[in-house]
Amino acid sequence: MRGFGERLSIHTMTFQTFIFYFLSTVLIVAALGVITARNPIHAALLLVLAFFTSSGLWLMLQAEFLAITLVLVYVGAVMVLFLFVVMMLDINLAKLREGFWRYLPMGGVVGVLLVLEMSMVLTSRSGGFGDAVAPPALPAGYSNTKELGLLIYTEYVYPFEIAAVILLVAIVAAIALTLRKRKLSKYMDPAAQVAIQRKDRVRIVTMASEKPEIPAAPAAASESAKR
């Protein structure tokens, strides 16, 4: 952990480092909140906070396009939909949280150990990221979006296409799994509506005319109606 402390003392001066640690702290607290919150709505909102702060971290890495996309797509679209779904569903929380406390000690110990080991390995100076140098700052007017667009359609065209196929599979799978034809469901068939002819709707029957029967006692009938 020595390397970690040293780096901290070198960088504490800069404002950027302060923002980094601030955002990271909020991110970690929010992420912990997502899994410990009792109310699923709170969990979803905390996840929104986590996305927001991590997009701030991406901004600091000069990846503006990705940062904005994260906010637009995940916070704006995915999480709002998610919130709707959570609100629509009647989730049995007691059942969901069954065993949480039973597994917490074991899981907690493993988790803390993992975090300690990971930070030791990753911040070590011999072969870890401890001696990593920051990438050079990009010149003003550098368009992150343009560079990404150029790469996606040239060098990364193959993975880009595969990602498109994955989305297609998602559509096919979602439809195959959820579309059901009910026998009783009511629907319109425009083709049949257009192709219909008069004879299908109106049947003209010719029959001999009948004489209308004269009601036997109209006066008596109206009398009874009044009563």
Partner 1 sequence: MQYIQPLWPAYPEIFLLAMACVILIADLFISDEKRSITYALTQLTLAGAALITWFTASGEPVHTFSGMFVGDLMSDVLKLVTYFGVISILVYARDYITLRGMFRGEFFALTLFATLGLMVMISANHLLTLYLGLELLSLSLYAMVALQRESAQATEAAMKYFVLGALASGMLLYGMSMIYGATGSLEITRIAAVIADDGAKNVVLVFGLVFLAAGIGFKLGAAPFHMWLPDVYHGAPTAVTLFIGTVPKLAAFAFVIRLLVQALGVEEIQAHWQQMLAVMAVLSLIIGNVTAIAQTNLKRMLAYSTISHMGFLLIGIIAGGLNGYASGMFYVVVYVLMSLGAFGMILLLSRDGFEAENINDFKGLNQRSPWYAFLMLLLMFSMAGVPPTVGFYAKLAVLQAIVEAGHVWLAVIAVIFSLIGAFYYLRIVKLMYFDDAEDTTPITPRADAQVLLSINGLAVLAFGIFPQPLIALCASSILASL
The contact set with partner 1 (CB under 8 A) reads 118, 121-122, 124, 126-129, 154-159, 162-163, 165-166, 168-170, 172-173, 175-177, 180
CB nearer to partner 1: pick between 60 and 121: 121
Task: Tell the smallest beta-carbon distance from residue 3 to partner 1 (Å).
Answer: 12
CB nearer to partner 1: pick between 73 and 170: 170
Task: Tell the smallest beta-carbon distance from residue 53 to partner 1 (Å).
Answer: 19
CB nearer to partner 1: pick between 127 and 218: 127
CB nearer to partner 1: pick between 126 and 197: 126
Task: Tell the smallest beta-carbon distance from residue 203 to partner 1 (Å).
Answer: 31
Task: Tell the smallest beta-carbon distance from residue 51 to partner 1 (Å).
Answer: 17
Cβ distance 21 to 4 under 8 Å? Answer: no
Q: Which of 112, 115, 131 is nearest to 123 (CA)?
A: 131
Quick one: tokens of 118? 């990971």
CB nearer to partner 1: pick between 97 and 223: 97
Residue whose entry in the numeric block shows the structure tokens 């029959």: 207
Task: Tell the smallest beta-carbon distance from residue 123 to partner 1 (Å).
Answer: 10
